[in-house]
Amino acid sequence: MDNRNKVHTSFNVEVVWQDRSSARSILAAIVLVGLLSARLVYTTFITNTKPLEQPLIINSFSRTVRKRFHAWMFLFNGPRIIQDRFDKANGRSFEVLAPDNRYVFVSSVKHIKELDTAPDTVLSLQAASKQMLQPVYTMHGFNWFDRRGTEGVGFVRALRTLLTNNLPQILPDLGVIVRTRFMELHSTHTTQNAKNEQFMESALAYIEETLICAEIVRLIPKFLVPFIGGIIAWRLKSHETVFDTLLPIAEQRCQERDLQNIGQAVPEHADCIQWIMATSPRQNPWTAKRVVHELMAIWFGSVHALSTTITFAFHDICIHPEYVQPLREELQTKYGAFERTGTGLPLLDSFIKESARLTPVESMSTRRSALQPFTLSDGTKVSPGDWACTPVRAIMQSAEYYPEPMKFYGFRFVDSTILLKSASSNLNFRQPVASKFTDVNQAWHVWGTGRMACPGRYYASAVMKVIIGQVLKNYDCKLAKPVGPCSATLRSSRHSVATLRLGVNIDHELQTESLPSLLQHAD
């Protein structure tokens, strides 16, 4: 540990929106701005203009333009707009407009329950995810059903139960992979050790491409979607590579499944492909193509939020260095037990939770797209196509649930029996009731709410502890650029733009590598 003070060189870990993709992102942004303007003109002048004989035409026109302008502003300033409306709403439901959507935000226990108990044929998470990700164009033609359960919800058991139960088998390997990967980063300067480098590259690019391209498809006028979406799908290569690489594996597994059904002995596999297959509908088992589509959707859902949350946690480690020592002490004494069980490390758990509370990836949670008209008990209407959702960031930063809500207290969630000897009162600041990062309740919507809360959260939490734990144990961490923004906003999401510098006791040159690639290796 002492030699951390002797650091004389460092390497950079650049996260999420990285150098090698920035050219692509800029190009996409230019295209996007062009499309935005086209859509603004289209919606303002074509779809919203009233007949000329109407009185107050000028007023109505300027109102429409103002409304459209605010809706477009949501793309660049979503979290602030949601916060402002939340502050004014005083616990009532409120509306936010985006260019392509009307969002109805609810934050009371009663209204959230109404969303959770609405039938899947009326309010749909699947339909909201489909609009958000445009999988037909970004995920190799995956056209999932709007209605939840049409093809089973086996993936919930696969992730919530089977994946979680297997954490003790997965975590030790994951720890080795993370350690090795970081050692490679500063010793060889290459990333050539993956089994299939092209697949790994594509699996990472696929996340960024999905985000950017789904955004374009959502914003262009509807009649252009099949045409432009088709071009995008054809131009994107990463989703094709991911699909083509996984398909033969899934085909082989399907063959093994068929052989097993007629009583033949087949190899055993303990991985997500197998669990997804095992939990697919018995009557109508999924084809290899369907299994790969499911994996691609889960891959997107897991990597994006996970890697960004980890990055923000690293950012907080850099700007709150007083937490490093107690976290290291906990890791030294308790990491082994955590690896064996997949649970534990309460200080690190609380630190990550506090980081996610103050810098959540998302400001909107529990998204449900209305398939049929829906009315909340206060009379607020959610029309087909509108979304009902919760203002997760605003709730998590509300004084109603969190004392001194805007202050970072890394250990505020730990049990009061785990008091730190010799720690300042800052470090010992506690919430009235202890809680865990994986909890789901009225004050904590990071994983959604109710019956559809994220089934991958136990895995996500454990993976974060492995990665952050390994870095804390072995490296000093600081921001390469301490001043300047650490994130960029798109709609209601924040994306990290931070660069971390990890100090090690070896000479080497600067190198950039992305955090999500660690996760690729873990897979």
Annotated binding site: 454
Strand 493-496 with 487-490, pairing? antiparallel
| Site for ligand HEM contains 448 (CB under 6 A) | yes
Which region among 2-10, 132-140, 155-163, 380-388 touches ligand HEM (by CB under 6 A)? 155-163
Contact set for ligand HEM, span 99-128 (CB under 6 A): 125
Query: Annotated binding residues for heme, as ranges?
Result: 454
What residues contact residue 388 under an 8 Å CB cut-off, 6+ apart?
103, 104, 106, 115, 123, 366, 367, 368, 370, 374, 376, 382
| Site for ligand HEM contains 366 (CB under 6 A) | yes
Interface residue with ligand HEM among 164, 449, 496, 499 (CB under 6 A) is 449
| Site for ligand HEM contains 305 (CB under 6 A) | yes
Q: What is the rounded end-to-end Cα distance, in angstroms, of the chain?
A: 30
In contact, 495 and 515? CB cutoff 8 Å? no
Interface residue with ligand HEM among 411, 447, 458, 475 (CB under 6 A) is 447
Q: Helix axis angle, 346-358 relative to 457-474, nearest 10°?
A: 110
- The residue type of 357 is R
Which region among 63-71, 227-235, 375-383, 447-455 touches ligand HEM (by CB under 6 A)? 447-455
Which region among 166-174, 444-452, 480-488, 503-511 touches ligand HEM (by CB under 6 A)? 444-452
| Site for ligand HEM contains 159 (CB under 6 A) | yes
- Pick between residue 13 and residue 127 the one whose CB is nearest to ligand HEM: 127
> What pairs with residue 105 in β-bridges?
94, 389
Which region among 44-52, 217-225, 322-330, 446-454 touches ligand HEM (by CB under 6 A)? 446-454
State the burial class of residue 404 (Cβ atoms within 10 Å of its Cβ: 0-12, 13-18, 19+): exposed
Cβ at position 245, least distance to ligand HEM in Å: 19
| Site for ligand HEM contains 302 (CB under 6 A) | yes
Question: Going along 345-468, which residue ranges are E strands?
Answer: 365-370, 374-375, 381-382, 387-390
| Site for ligand HEM contains 298 (CB under 6 A) | yes
In contact, 169 and 175? CB cutoff 8 Å? no
What's the Cα-to-Cα distance from 216 to each of 65, 98, 220, 397, rounded to whole Å?
Answer: 21, 14, 6, 31
Sign of the four-CA dihedral 62, 68, 72, 77:
positive
| Site for ligand HEM contains 155 (CB under 6 A) | yes
| Site for ligand HEM contains 351 (CB under 6 A) | no
Cβ at position 272, least distance to ligand HEM in Å: 7
- Pick between residue 220 and residue 486 the one whose CB is nearest to ligand HEM: 486
Locus of tokens 């400001």: 363
Enumerate binding residues for ligand HEM (CB under 6 A). Answer: 125, 155-156, 159, 298, 301-302, 305-306, 309, 365-367, 446-449, 452-456, 459-460
